[in-house]
């Protein structure tokens, strides 16, 4: 059992995270209180299956309109796909944060 705080990703993103194709996640402020160097235990959402540990590299505020092709590349999506996913998860478009991470195990 991990002693690290838990962090979840939708199951559809697990393969991309494990393959190193997804290296950031964009979240609202309720999930942005992490610090660089912090390690988080990863679980699927909604199944709550463990799938690894990540280290937070950085947490930076980003405006929805400032999302760009580099963010999309780090999410392993096109920019239109990324914006559509964010709008689906956060329809009100609250303040957003880019969490850059490295998969450890």
- In terms of DSSP bridges, do strands 39-45 and 6-10 run parallel, antiparallel, or are they unpaired? parallel
How far is the C-alpha of 68 from the C-alpha of 47, rounded, in Å? Answer: 31
CA 92, 68, 81, 75 dihedral sign is negative
Q: How far, CA to CA in Å, does 21 sit from each of 12, 59, 70, 90, 102?
A: 13, 19, 12, 23, 11
Active site residues per annotation:
22, 25, 75
Tell me if residue 43 falls in helix, strand or coil.
strand
């Amino acid at each position: 059992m991990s002693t690290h705080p838990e962090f979840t990703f939708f199951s559809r993103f697990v393969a991309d995270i494990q393959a190193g194709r997804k290296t950031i996640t964009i979240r609202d402020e309720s999930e942005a209180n992490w610090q660089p160097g912090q390690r988080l235990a990863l679980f699927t959402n909604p199944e709550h299956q463990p799938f690894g540990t990540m280290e937070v590299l950085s947490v930076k505020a980003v405006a929805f309109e400032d999302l760009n092709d580099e963010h999309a590349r780090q999410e392993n999506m096109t920019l239109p796909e990324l914006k559509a996913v964010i709008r689906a998860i956060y329809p009100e478009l609250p303040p957003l944060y880019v969490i850059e991470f490295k998969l450890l195990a």
